[in-house]
Chains A and B, each alone.
Chain A
């Protein structure tokens, strides 16, 4: 579900919500989203972590800092969260100090002139050491360049092989979805033998949906004519992070799931990786919908990738 089309306004709203500074009605709306909406719940988590970090780093405005102390710190659980944030900050500072100390000791060890200041500069030795250092760096850079080239070529080869495999799998998945769509239509009391062997006569409409971003511009629309059998949506991915995916079609008004896919794999779209889903046009009314896409890792539970909103226009 799109929180709004203005990301920085959203972040400010979340901050005010966490500081107890929102009007009651607005706060109640966010209370509901914090439990019922996956994407919002994670955004709220992230906003809370950033707020706490900003407090311990002294980055809050005086008004926000005052409200933080008065409201946010009134809970034992949240005090613990701030203590952990202070611990993380101290951890970061100590790690940075360790790195700086190590760098200083390396510079000191590499400079024989500094180690023996009484002897002054020795030009030939100085020139030899610099020349050796430059040559070493040049060799390292060249070796690094060769390594990077090799890695890139290997990656390209793997990518081509992987794309071939996923395209083949993608074609099989599309075929399966078409058959599932056909089954859904059969259940709407059409004669059994009307479409049994006529998959090629299914009428479809399709729409490409851009990757979910905070600042979505216009809502993509799909025109569904009478007699349309299937709606095909191509969900563009910013990155193909998971071996499998699952999509759900949701009505944002009632928050009900209307349709859910089986496990899907990403295929190669015209502008990068994409997931293709299709479902019966009869599920849709003239309103907005959202396709929630989850990534399924090899181990562990599914993760929310994002929501793809779109509008249905019936003609």
Chain B
């Protein structure tokens, strides 16, 4: 792992470069980090958060050293560096099923949900609280968007998009953002006593 730590100005330079001229108030950085975590998680890396931070740190370092990076877009460049980080990870770690089984919760046990009603109630309680933190509009959107199954769900989403005067794409993106927010909230609150 790199020992380089960005200075405040280097980090600010990195954020500006990532924003490509549209000030996102750090949202672009958080989104890029989220995508990198998902990428490393899909590649079955044991510590996807650390690898994502490693990737972003290397990009920021390269940007500071070179002053600018213009041959690739920021998102594309982050992917290229992530790919290198992943290949280094493969060479560094013995990646086997035995290693995955050694990590609590990382096995492919088909019984996902803890059967105890106490943990179920705790999850529902946290979910309820996190949904209450949303605006009424966001709460209604996410509950309506994911309600139902099969064809009824597809039809319901079409009607929801019409009612909210959103394109199907915009509705999908908004629902994903809200769900991500709820997932983070539940995860954080479950880790609290």
Contact = CB atoms under 8 A, between A and B. Distances in A.
B24 A75 contact: no
Contacts of B107: 74
Contacts of A42: 172-173, 176
A183 interface: no
A164 to B, nearest CB: 20
B25 interface: yes
Nearest to A70: B108
Interface in A1-45: 18, 20, 31-32, 34-39, 41-43, 45
A110 B117 CA distance: 37
The listed residue with most B CB atoms (<10 A of its CB), out of A71, A238, A248, is A238
Nearest to B25: A301
A87 B146 contact: no
Chain B at the A interface: SS class: helix
A245 to B, nearest CB: 11
A255 B182 CA distance: 32
Contact of B169 (A18, A69, A254, A306): A306
Chain A at the B interface: SS class: helix
A20 B186 CA distance: 27
Interface stretch (A76-84, A130-138, A189-197, A198-206): A76-84
A265 to B, nearest CB: 16
Interface string B54-65: 000000000000
B167 A305 contact: yes
Nearest to A88: B146
Given A35-B32, A76-B106, A239-B167, 7 more contacts: A31-B83, A35-B76, A87-B120, A241-B166, A254-B72, A256-B73, A305-B167
Interface string B132-143: 000000000001
Contacts, number: 158
B100 interface: yes
A86 B113 contact: yes
B1 interface: no
Contacts of B127: 84, 87-88, 91
A288 interface: no
Given A31-B39, A301-B24, A306-B169, A74 B175 contact: no
Contacts of A216: none
Given A87-B127, A301-B24, A239 B165 contact: yes
B193 interface: no
A211 B120 CA distance: 44
21 contacts: A31-B83, A35-B35, A36-B76, A43-B172, A49-B175, A59-B150, A75-B106, A77-B41, A79-B106, A79-B112, A82-B112, A83-B112, A84-B123, A87-B120, A87-B124, A92-B146, A238-B167, A239-B165, A257-B20, A295-B170, A301-B28
A64 B32 CA distance: 29
Contact of B149 (A59, A248, A294): A59
Interface of A: 18, 20, 31-32, 34-39, 41-43, 45-46, 49, 53-54, 57, 59, 69-71, 73-84, 86-88, 90-92, 94-95, 211-212, 237-239, 241, 246, 248, 254-257, 260, 294-295, 300-306
Given A46-B176, A53-B146, A84 B183 contact: yes
Contacts of B22: 246, 260, 294, 302
The listed residue with most A CB atoms (<10 A of its CB), out of B28, B36, B123, is B123
A77 B40 CA distance: 11
A91 B127 CA distance: 8
Counting contact residues on chain B (CB < 8 A from A), the size range is: 35 or more
Nearest to A53: B146
Contact of A74 (B72, B100, B143, B176): B100
Given A35-B79, A42-B176, A301-B24, A73 B110 contact: yes
Contact of A35 (B39, B103, B150, B175): B39
Contact of A36 (B73, B109, B112, B150): B73
B78 interface: yes
